[in-house]
Structure 1
């Protein structure tokens, strides 16, 4: 009997799930609808294509929950982390990558595996037989979404997500902009100068906010309402919450010194991060937007240093879909009404590339173990992966469930700190030390 796992979706979660299962000896079929069926956000047929940011966020595995998740995935021989490390770009303390080389290498690696087959085509139903993982991500096709809705009996949950623009480096005025990471963070000079900074004085900032608020925006269709994820708000939505909001968010000026005029303190600073290894593209950090294309060009060229900027990609907005996982999935990420199907990645209500890949890693291992007749326990609760999967499969309140990034608020309190000093650094270090011990023990137990 052929031991085969079907994975629907070749994004971060699907690619990682395939890699993990294939390395456990299971035959894997990846069903990817691209390029037969295109999406608003994707531009290639590669697996694991990054469509929003090119960053996997903080790589600090002692003081940051997402950095700890990086550590756990590396310890589990994760494909996504291995490829991210291989194609890393300077980004201070963050793990940013050349998105094109990253996706190309992930695709080539999986294609080279003898027990992995990539099949182009859209899956529109939930199968009754076989072992399946649905990792279709936030851009799940309409037909499959309808099939999921019909099976679960619940209304599809969705929120709107926005994409940041990318500018050509040679169109940026370096007589105004300068290179520096916030607080000069980073061990190398390249990391300490990983961001391009465009300063604004008060009058420039106020004029920018006025233009941003007045700009023509993308209209929603009848019956649609915006339920944005707070970690990816369009800049104009942030500006609507108060004129100072952006100065305390993506445009905060702290930790930066203008190389052209060190004695002049900027009122606000727009940061851009390198988007490819050639250094020819820079994305505007935190500038997700739903402004119409013509308005974007006018508004973004108000930013000092970007007066003559040319854009490789303008921002955009799309609908992200996720299921109410706490009510629909068991602790093994299986659909309660069809336990031959697991869900994984952003469609389960985790937010971010790293979290999606992590849920793919776990789903791939759990599904492969089940196929091989040696079921395994899910990830330990005190690990980053365990805390995240517990949250989406029962820890969160189903009635108010919304997409969530990994964070230390999902972790159980550390007993050794109860009643003692609770300094943030001590507390976070205690979380990560405990998680690493439990994650290592879990991995050893699977061998």
Structure 2
């Protein structure tokens, strides 16, 4: 029986392990927790969600919605866990992060073909990795410093990195419901998915001033601060102009304050974190503010004056390789045969994008080890578009990307924005169904 070693028990690593094991491949999954943790991890389980608990939008009019559908069709463990631990979030798919991690941990630990070893792997040349038919590095963007150095030495590149910030979580019991109200944007019927804290103009401007003046965590001397555009810290957005937040995550469009009947000047949304709705994530409030400053400034939000913070925001380094330069189409390192990368370290960005990368590697590697081959999904599909991103040589510096319609070939006809998204979705679904039928992977 073929045997694969996987380093990293996050979304990509567990999804890859599951797909390989389902294909009859023996897997040893190395996870360094609980003996050692990254600066962002706190729990012991596999597939820990360290940022938001949301897997974002559903439905084929969004690229991430298409990705969910494609992953489900391919037997994704992550999608099974997400649907099994789902919590209300309007038009988004959000999960109870504790139950989600437990679901995947149980599935992986109870699979006959998977052995979980809680041990840090510090190098691509570690003795534990020798003798396997393949090695998959799925250590995520927070790979330990020693493993990261080993990987970067192997690929021959300077380190590439960006900063990703985590939003705070607060206790529901500490919210002032005389000021906050329930409701989803444009959907008053979804009255228990989000809590909303309205701001008048004076409150908003005072809040922006405090964000700008607040003391922030500084990058280390040898690191240049580069933020991922899709996950900017709230204070970095505020630096772009006084009204940037009011037209961004704090936009009041689609809301009426039920206490006044008027549209607020700005609005802060809180999304439920768990099935019991006892914890809430501040939507769009990724931050690099120091902990005392977070408590002081975020308690300026109406309704959060007495906020109890279950988790404060933080900032961490995300490391990734220059994928078009160092990876084969198979996700194998060009100069280290037998060593593959999966997940965010390849340059995909986002929970499901990371899992999809691990899923694809598990499927394709398992097929190859069983004596066959697997054609890639077409670039018109969500998974195919992600894989295409890792192969396309950019005009400038390679940067991580979420799945989006911009990664797919453009449509030939001009049409309105809403119709264009629907057209991308229809084309993607048709292309995926044709592909999955041709390769016989319907699950």
Do they superpose with TM above 0.5? yes
Matched with 2:406 is 409
Maintained 8 Å contact 2:71/2:356: yes
Return the match for 2:428 from 427, 435, 443.
435
**The residue matched to 1:236 in structure 2 has which SS?**
helix
Render the CA deviation track for 1:189-239: whole Å, top value 9, x for unaligned.
Answer: 4x4431100011000011111111111111222122210001111111111
Q: Give the drift of 1:144.
A: 0.6
Question: Which of the numbers 308, 311, 316 marks the counterpart of 1:310?
Answer: 308
- Residue 284 of structure 1 is matched in structure 2 by 282
Does 1:43 find its partner at 2:46?
A: no
Q: Distance in 1 between matches of 2:331 and 2:251?
A: 39
SS of 1:317's equivalent in the other structure is strand
SS in 2 for 1:339: coil
Could you list the per-position Cα deviations for residues 52-93 of structure 1 after superposition, in whole angstroms to 9, with x for gaps in the alignment? 0000000122x1000000000011111111111111111111
The aligned counterpart of 1:217 is 216
What is the aligned partner in structure 2 of residue 164 from structure 1?
A: 167
Out of 391, 394, 401, which is 1:397 matched to? 394
1:365 pairs with one of 363, 369, 378: 363
**Distance in 2 of aligned mates of 1:155 and 1:41:** 24
Write out the 4+ residue segments of structure 1 that deviate beyond 3 Å after TM superposition: none
Task: Give the secondary-structure state (helix, strand or coil) at the position aligned to 1:320.
Answer: strand
Question: 1:96 is paired with a residue of what secondary structure?
Answer: strand
5 Å-filtered alignment, 1:311-350, equals 311-350=309-348
What SS class does the counterpart of residue 162 from structure 1 fall into? strand
Q: What corresponds to 2:187 in structure 1?
A: 184
For 1:242 and 1:205, the matched residues in 2 are separated by 13
Q: What is the deviation of 1:322?
A: 0.5
Distance (whole Å) between structure 1 residues aligned to residue 423 and residue 389 of structure 2: 20
Picking from 120, 123, 127, the partner of 1:122 is 120
* 1:87-121 deviations in Å (ceiling 9; x for gaps): 11111110011000001111101111111111111
Is the 8 Å Cα contact of residues 51 and 167 (structure 2) preserved in structure 1? yes
Q: Which residue of 2 aligns with 1:8?
A: 7
Q: Is the 8 A contact 1:324 1:398 kept in 2?
A: no
Q: Is the contact made by 1:350 and 1:405 (CA closer than 8 Å) also made in structure 2?
A: yes
Deviation of 1:341 after TM superposition, in Å, equals: 1.4
Given that residues 382 and 412 in structure 1 are in contact (C-alpha distance below 8 angstroms), is that contact kept between their aligned partners in structure 2?
yes
Report the Cα distance in structure 2 between the residues aligned to 1:446 and 1:330, rounded to whole angstroms: 24
Unmatched runs of 5 consecutive residues or more in structure 2: none
The separation in 2 between residues aligned to 1:42 and 1:158, in whole angstroms, is 19
- Deviation of 1:289 (Å): 0.7
Tell me the TM-score normalized by structure 1.
0.94
CA contact (8 A) 1:165 1:284 kept: yes
CA distance in 1, matches of 2:309, 2:420: 43
- Mapped pair 1:356 → 2:349: no
Contact residue 38 and residue 143 of structure 2 kept, 8 A: no
Distance 1:428 1:396 in 2: 25
Aligned residues: 435
CA distance in 2, matches of 1:375, 1:328: 22
Q: Counterpart of 1:334 in 2: which secondary structure?
A: coil
What is the rounded CA distance, in whole Å, between the counterparts of 1:123 and 1:373 in structure 2? 29
